Amino acid sequence: MDAQNSEPIDFAKAELGDTADAIAAAAIETLDWERLAKIEPSPKTFVIPKLAPAGELTLFTGAGSAGKSLLAQQFATALAGGVQTLGLDMGQAPAIYITCEDDEGQLHWRQKHLCKALGVSMENLAGKLEIASLRGDLDNALGTEGANGQFNPAPAYNRIAALLRRSGAKLLCLDNVAHLFTGNENDRGEVTRFVNALNRLAGESGAAILLLAHPNKAGDSWSGSTAWLNAVRSQITITHDLESDMRKLTVGKANYARKGSQMRFAWIDWAFVLEDDLPPDTARKLAETAHAHAGNETFLKCLTLCTERKRNVSHQPGSNYAPKIFAGMPEAKGFGKADFAAAMERLLTIGAIELDAELWRDEHRKPRRGIRLVESGA
């Protein structure tokens, strides 16, 4: 009897002899301890060391423009080229990067710069690195929800699975979930079934799959149901620190690695370079940029506080000279008079502040003038 077409089994009433065949067909296979006792167990292997385990789906999240797409393409290039990147020994294996957002021209531009940064010949990547743009395609969804609550793979899923089998790739980067998943991101069941379909693809191929996704507006590192995080065994997040212009990659969930592990790197000529590997002059310039940015932000904070307290400050040396007053405030964060003077000039140059502006009128209707913050869009 075909178990799929048979009537549901009532185990409380049925005789064992009547249901033996059906039970056997649906039996759960348990671990064979006699066999396993003779085999030395192995720890989980990683395609991207410490970040993306083999045979698993890793959720890779980050805000727009943080650098997810570039970093995914960089990882794929390093693996295909057999070179290190960001201090990680990638080994060598075929890799795939598929994007629904960038066109061929952009991919070519990034690839040229990545090859230069990693010391890899573009010609030598033939047959090792598969990159495709699905931008503008109308059938990028990997599957649909059936009436029976099952995930039904779509042609896009089957095409990707075929490419993965044909290439033998050990890394598959999918950019990004907004184009590939068309269900309700807040529906736990739909999300779990979608993730399970990709986990099955990863398990069958032994590849690490990186699924790129955006965070939500509430500050979580993923968007939609918590099922996105619960259904995967690995999740990493990239953030961009505008103050230092450094990127930070953090392991958010790790069943096979250490949670909270981080690495810091900088964007240099269309490639990411580990902070410790930056040339001295580049590291110095980044430090100077970070110091200047922090000085600007602190100047603006002090200016806002003074304005709220009805204390007008001026660019002219004197008793209400802004740099001198700000340097003495608890909010100065260690910045001195010279730092605030430099920040004032920078902010004036970019139009963030204006001088000798009317701020308010006192009890005698006399205008009080000083430095004023220029509101965004003003």
pTM: 0.75
Q: What is the DSSP letter of 215?
A: -
Tell which residue, 205, 167, 206, 202, has the closest CA to residue 80: 167
Domains recognised in the chain with CATH numbers: 46-276 (3.40.50.300), 283-373 (no CATH)
**Distance of alpha carbon 218 from alpha carbon 224, whole angstroms:** 10
DSSP line for 259-318: TT-EEEEEE-SSSEEEGGGS-HHHHHHHHHHHHHHHHHHHHHHHHHHHHHTT---BSSSS
- CA 369 distance to own-chain centroid: 46
Token pair of 216 as six digits: 């939500």
pLDDT in tens, the chain (378 residues): 444 444 554 544 445 455 666 666 667 889 999 999 999 998 889 999 999 999 999 999 998 889 999 999 999 999 999 999 999 999 999 999 999 999 999 999 999 999 999 999 999 999 999 999 999 999 999 999 887 788 999 999 999 999 999 999 999 999 999 999 988 888 889 999 999 999 999 999 999 999 999 886 555 555 566 778 888 889 999 999 887 788 999 998 776 666 768 899 999 989 999 998 888 888 788 888 888 988 999 999 999 999 999 999 999 999 999 999 999 999 999 999 999 999 999 999 999 999 999 999 988 899 999 999 998 644
Specify the pLDDT at position 227. Answer: 76
Token pair of 361 as six digits: 């009128």
